[in-house]
Structure 1
Amino acid sequence: MRAASPRGPAHRRPSRHAAMTDGPMTSGPGCATPSALGCAARGWRGCDRKVSMKVRASKAVRIARGSALAIAAMSSMAVAAGLGADNAKAGDEAGLQGQALTDRVAALDAQLFDSFNRCADPAQLARHAAMFDEKVEFYHDRGGVTWTRETMLENTRRNVCGKIRRELVPGTLRVYPLPDFGAMEIGEHRFCAPDGGVCEGRGEFVMVWRREGGQWRVTRVLSYAHRAEGKGE
């Protein structure tokens, strides 16, 4: 005969209330990260507050990530648009002839020597440097020849910056196309005191401009026939 199993408190089936009260907790006391049953037993208001905070934080993270992706996409589009504009400009400039080419090179000359005349400012010297090819050849009838941009700029820094201002002599600029390359610029210029004072020197020059994409850079310079202003004209 089989003995009846004792049914004491230890063997009672847990009540529904106990199951809800003793729901699993994943960390710490209270409703830090409760299960749904634990929240139901302890009162939904407190848990709702904490769960709501977590939902808002998670939503904020998602929004931030979305914003970062949107900004990155916009930046890529801007870069692509800029490259497209450069390419379009390059296409337009490829066929420049006559006065249109002269006007373009005259504008480049103005940019080049605006920075030249202010090259005591390192930012302007850097701007000036950017308009020359790294392997620019510079031929000077007094100073000799330099074969790199670095050497040419060192001479400019030492002998020109803060000491000389260059002016293009009006009416002397001539521009000729170099097919599939760029343009050749020929003219005369004066060398003056940097503060707008008297111009004492004069010379002639040739510059060869190379067009690559939307960029124009000087690859060759000949600077010659240097003389005192007013002589040999």
Structure 2
Amino acid sequence: MKITHIASTAILATTVTVFGANAGTASEHESLYNTVAALDTAVFNAFNHCSEPGQLDKHASYFAADVEFYHDNGGVTWTREEMIAGTRKNVCGKFRRELVEGSLEVYPIKGFGAIAQGSHRFCQFSSGVCDGLADFTMVWSEQNGKWELTRVLSYGHRPASNP
């Protein structure tokens, strides 16, 4: 029983660390995490298939018109239109993004939405090699049941070690 209590305490401590000490119940945390994780999957599924008809528009639909996108190597874009033009030119048909398993963390923003952060790797379509790694922070806004990205930071781009 002592081991179970220690494990339960460790899980609770992790929950408090990930979501903040006064952020609501565990079920609210789990629900928010699941929502944001599903959004992350959806936005990047469209990103990964953006060379296919309709997928770039679908990807764009997850971003606010005035989204700010900060990229340590590419600079800053200030609109969805500008960001999507960069995606069309630099991403579509070239590589895909994969979330690093276990890296996604979600933090609520009271009365607004959530912050998602984690790490992702980039894999070349031509070779299948996942040769890039970076960290991200994304700010999701929820208004009337619709979630959209208002700020995106992609940084710490570096070579990925391939086992």
**TM-score grouping bracket, smaller chain normalisation:** 0.7 to 0.9
Report the CA distance between 1:196 and its aligned residue: 7.6
Task: Write the mapping of 1:192-207 to structure 2, written as runs, cut at 5 A.
Answer: 192-194=123-125, 197-207=128-138
Long gaps (5+) in structure 2 = 1-24
Q: Is the 8 A contact 1:97 1:177 kept in 2?
A: no
The aligned residue for residue 79 of structure 2 is 148
In 1, Cα distance between equivalents of 2:52 and 2:102: 30
The aligned residue for residue 142 of structure 2 is 211
Relative contact order, higher structure (CA 8 A, sep 6+): 2
Task: Write the mapping of 1:79-158 to structure 2, written as runs, cut at 5 A.
Answer: 97-158=28-89
Deviations 1:161-215 (A, max 9, x none): 0001100000100000000000000000000022681100000000000001111
Task: Write the mapping of 1:43-82 to structure 2, written as runs, cut at 5 A.
Answer: none
The aligned residue for residue 189 of structure 1 is 120
Task: Write the mapping of 1:214-233 to structure 2, written as runs, cut at 5 A.
Answer: 214-230=145-161
User: In the alignment, residue 31 of structure 2 is paired with which amino acid?
Assistant: A
In 2, Cα distance between equivalents of 1:195 and 1:131: 27
Give me the TM-score of the superposition, normalised by structure 1. Answer: 0.57
User: In the alignment, residue 84 of structure 2 is paired with which amino acid?
Assistant: L
Give every structure 1 segment of 4 or more consecutive aligned residues whose post-TM-superposition deviation is greater than 6 Å. Answer: none
User: In the alignment, residue 201 of structure 1 is paired with which amino acid?
Assistant: G
User: In the alignment, residue 108 of structure 2 is paired with which amino acid?
Assistant: P
Q: Which has the higher strand share?
A: 2
Q: Is the 8 A contact 1:117 1:194 kept in 2?
A: no
Which structure has the larger Rg over C-alpha atoms? 1
Q: Is the 8 A contact 1:164 1:192 kept in 2?
A: yes
Report the CA distance between 1:121 and its aligned residue: 1.8
Q: Which has the higher helix share?
A: 1
Identity among equivalent positions (%) equals 54
